[in-house]
Structure 1
Amino acid sequence: MTTLTRDEAYELLRSWTDSEALMTHARSVEVVMRAAAHRYGSGEGDVEAYGLAGLLHDADYDRWPEEHPARIVAWLNERGETTIAHAISAHYTKWGVSYDTQIDRALLACDELTGFVGACCFVRPEGISTLEPKSVKKKLKQKSFAAGVDRDEVAAGVEMLGVELGEHIQFIIDALKPHAEELGLSGT
């Protein structure tokens, strides 16, 4: 149970983040994580924590990239939001943090792939409306496309969640579609 409100979280994110692209990424991962609470968590009772983990996972990256995610993790821990803090501290496997809960695994599985699905939408005239998992999987094989997306992290995330890649991609597409206009995923 989280006591942090979305408004408080958003206010912090906005004060620490100047990059509109990073703000959009944070909102995109929030949207997907709210849906993930129903699919991978225990449902409605997890929605706020999952959503806030998605919203805040990169909150300190814009201002303090060399310290990421230590600042946001410390901020959350100071407020007693240990579950969200731990999930954020674990959203990159190379940090060596344990994956103890479904929220930890879901954030790992949703972060990079949500950004990648967004990148796929940007190169399609019809955006997300006709995007299919097979197209995303094909782009994942092209190392030069969205080169900043760590394919190993994508693979580790779906493996830890115990889901098939195509199924998880479809889940992310379905979660993002209702928010396509807000997130700039509607195409040209």
Structure 2
Amino acid sequence: MTPTREDAFRLLTRYNETESLIKHALAVEGVMRHMARKRGADEEKWGIVGLVHDLDYEKYPERHCAKTEEILQAENWPEEYIRAVVSHGWGICSDVKPESEMEMVLYAVDELTGLVTTSALVRPSRSVMDLTAKSVRKKWKDRRFAAGVDRSIIERGADMLGVELNDLITDTILGMREVADAVGLLGETAD
């Protein structure tokens, strides 16, 4: 079975009700689609993998990645999709090392979307539309800011991909701009 975006979203919302987790999934999907286009890869596949990467996180946080693997296998998803999802937890909750380009991108941008989101929300605009890599890098140095974001994972992901950190941040911002309205980062509008 080749899953559709509708299949992926239905699964996501079956296992997740928390708005912040759904927005995170949409943000990662947006970045994965952007990165796939930029790299000449399958945008639909990369987006779907991004959308379901934290499928099990709300209901089974203690079994993160392992439970998603079980769910996707039961749904007859392709092994390539399953492996990519499981590999994003490498070194944290999974022993599956990211190897394909899609896997490495997911690994690199998952945590980064959280840092970009938090960086956008403290701006006067509360928007990703005017956010720059430079602004995110200023926040990067303050380990108390978005303390839950493991910056070493982002750095390891950038290294795996052979890209500069600023370029990875810029691409993540650009991908998130495409879904800014859906993830609540379009900004404050004047009444």
Q: TM-score w.r.t. structure 1 length? A: 0.92
- Structure with bigger helix share is 1
Question: Aligned partners of 1:11 and 1:3: how far apart in 2?
Answer: 15
Structure 1 partner of 2:29: 30
C-alpha deviation, 1:105, in angstroms: 0.3
Evaluate the alpha carbon distance shift between residue 80 and residue 179 of structure 1 in structure 2; reply closer, same or farther with a 3 A threshold: closer
Q: Are residue 174 (structure 1) and residue 174 (structure 2) matched?
A: yes
Structure 2 partner of 1:144: 144
C-alpha deviation, 1:81, in angstroms: 1.4
**Amino acid paired to 1:9:** A
Q: 2:112–2:169: 8 Å Cα contact kept in structure 1?
A: yes
**Amino acid paired to 1:56:** V
Secondary structure in 1 aligned to 2:98?
coil
Structure 1 partner of 2:80: 83
**Amino acid paired to 1:52:** I
| Number of residue equivalences | 184
Unaligned runs of 5+ in 2: none
C-alpha deviation, 1:150, in angstroms: 0.6
Secondary structure in 1 aligned to 2:186?
coil
User: Structure 1, residues 110-145: CA drift from partner, whole Å, max 9, x if none?
Assistant: 111112101111111222222111110111111111
Structure 2 partner of 1:104: 103
**Amino acid paired to 2:170:** Q
- 1:1-188 equivalence runs, <5 A: 3-40=2-39, 42-43=40-41, 46-78=42-74, 79-94=76-91, 95-126=94-125, 127-188=127-188
Q: 1:99–1:105: 8 Å Cα contact kept in structure 2?
A: yes
User: Structure 1, residues 141-185: CA drift from partner, whole Å, max 9, x if none?
Assistant: 111111111111111111111100101111111122132222111
**Amino acid paired to 2:56:** D
Question: Aligned partners of 1:63 and 1:35: how far apart in 2?
Answer: 29
Q: TM-score w.r.t. structure 2 length? A: 0.91
Question: Aligned partners of 2:47 and 2:57: how far apart in 1?
Answer: 18
Unaligned runs of 5+ in 1: none
Secondary structure in 2 aligned to 1:128?
coil
Question: Aligned partners of 1:121 and 1:80: how far apart in 2?
Answer: 34
Q: 1:29–1:114: 8 Å Cα contact kept in structure 2?
A: yes
